[in-house]
Amino acid sequence: MSSTETTNKASVASEKSNTKPTRDEPVLQVERRDFIDLVPEKRPRVQSLRGFDDCYTDIVDYIVRCTHKIWDERDVGLIYSHYTHNCVLYNALGTMYNREQVVQDTLQRLVAFPERRGMATQVIWNGNDVEGFYTSHLVTGSGRHTQYSHLGKPTNRTFVTRTVADCMIHENKIYREWVVSDNMAMMRQLGLDTDAVAYGMAKEQFDKGFRVTDIGENRRMVGQYPPEMECDVSIAHTDTEEQCLRWLHEIYNRRMLGKIKDVYAPNVQWHGPLMKELYGQAAVIHQTLALIGMIPDGAWMPQHICSNPCDEGGTKVAVRWIMEGHHLGYGELGKPTGERLFVMGMSHYHIVNGKVVDEWVVYDHLALLAQIKLGQMEE
């Protein structure tokens, strides 16, 4: 881009940005701050936020504060001013296509778990108020199952689980969102019959006319060619993001799991599905192998990546990805069924000196089990 083009683009951005003055301060980061510091009352705006409500001082404040208001303070009506009427919300088993569905789903979840609290663990983001923001919000949720709901009689048991919500935001409104929750971890902690819960989820989809569409030959094996030697890094914005995509492709698509020893620190901490907390390269290799082994024909594809420098040192990277294939191997889902599986996953990495020192990965075994049940219903 020429210097003239750069100047013109900056000029347009300046004209379109919020006229409210901003301070030259860094955008908030979640890890080292208490909640009251993340949603400050008297902090001046530090980031240009054209079209956003005055209470928000930067994009992290926005996503943490509005999530808290909707879910913890029960201001569900804020969805009408924070989501577009035609928003699309994707989750691991179904898609919502309008704001009213989001309102209804939120109400039902609050009915089942009125004591639930969602604590921001980290927010990784990119973008601006002209082109729009993208946020990847990792939440640790805790609560107790105290009410009758779609899960049946309350168990009064407590739970802790992880959720990642990726949002595309423009002028105070979310217009697209991807949500992945570790629901299997919650169901097991509540002592529920996960097969019965998954069957109920599948039956609901089946009664609406949804069916599993088997894609046949997936993109992993086109004809008789081996997996692509090089990955597509066009979605990367930085060298770190590009390197991250390259080693993820090596591990997941080329099945070079030995790469984990090169890119993960020896003392890496791995925070995974089913609320597993594991340590060391061998644990990461085994857990990665467990997913690939369960879907051995699976093709892994990144859909979005963003990153921020971290107050703790190094860089935080967020990757939204999918994996498509068939249930051909043993694992958490039991005996192979051959049913088609679609995994929607979110991964956050903390990279220091070129090594992953922490990984948080969220995908939902319960949604995968429901996909198996749905496929079996169709048969």
Q: 84, exposed or middle or buried, with CB in 10 Å at 0-12, 13-18, 19+?
A: middle
Among candidates 160, 132, 127, 128, which has minimal Cα distance to 145? 160
Check: CB of residue 257 under 8 Å from CB of residue 144. Answer: no
Mean of the pLDDT values across residues 165-185? Answer: 98
Check residues 1 and 295 and name the one with the higher pLDDT: 295
Mean of the pLDDT values across residues 264-289? Answer: 97
For the chain, the average pLDDT equals: 91
DSSP-assigned beta bridge partners for residue 123: 137
| pLDDT of amino acid 25 | 82
DSSP-assigned beta bridge partners for residue 307: 317
Mean of the pLDDT values across residues 268-281? Answer: 98
| Residues sharing a CB contact under 8 Å with residue 293, sequence separation 6 or more, in sequence order | 329, 330, 331
Rounded Cα–Cα distance for residues 107 and 76 (Å): 7
| pLDDT of amino acid 93 | 78
User: Which tens digits make up the pLDDT trace of 325-348?
Assistant: 999 999 999 999 999 999 999 999
| pLDDT of amino acid 215 | 65
User: Which tens digits make up the pLDDT trace of 250-268?
Assistant: 999 999 999 999 999 999 9
| pLDDT of amino acid 11 | 39
Mean of the pLDDT values across residues 349-357? Answer: 97
Mean of the pLDDT values across residues 185-211? Answer: 92
Rounded Cα–Cα distance for residues 115 and 105 (Å): 17
Q: How does residue 18 score in pLDDT terms, banded at 50, 70 and 90?
A: very low
Three-class SS of residue 256?
coil
Is the per-residue pLDDT at 27 higher than 60? yes
| pLDDT of amino acid 92 | 84
What's the whole-model pTM score?
0.91
Mean of the pLDDT values across residues 238-246? Answer: 97
| Residues sharing a CB contact under 8 Å with residue 31, sequence separation 6 or more, in sequence order | 121, 122, 310, 311, 312
Q: Are strands 173-181 and 83-91 parallel, antiparallel or unpaired?
A: parallel
Three-class SS of residue 178?
strand
Rounded Cα–Cα distance for residues 70 and 65 (Å): 9
Is the per-residue pLDDT at 5 higher than 50? no
- Order of strands, sheet of 299-309, starting from the edge strand that comes earlier in the sequence: 276-279, 264-272, 355-362, 340-352, 315-326, 299-309
Check: CB of residue 354 under 8 Å from CB of residue 266. Answer: no
- CB atoms closer than 10 angstroms to residue 130: 16
Q: Where are the beta strands (DSSP E) in the chain?
A: 83-91, 94-96, 117-128, 132-144, 158-170, 173-181, 264-272, 276-279, 299-309, 315-326, 340-352, 355-362
Is the per-residue pLDDT at 2 higher than 70? no
User: Which tens digits make up the pLDDT trace of 94-125?
Assistant: 899 999 999 999 999 899 899 999 999 999 99
Is the per-residue pLDDT at 6 higher than 80? no
Among candidates 177, 171, 141, which has minimal Cα distance to 159? 141
| pLDDT of amino acid 289 | 97
| pLDDT of amino acid 228 | 80
Give long-range contacts, CB 8 A cutoff, 24+ apart: 208-215: 210/94, 210/374, 211/374, 211/378, 212/339, 212/340, 212/371, 212/374, 212/375, 212/378, 213/340, 214/340, 215/324, 215/340
Check: CB of residue 161 under 8 Å from CB of residue 181. Answer: yes
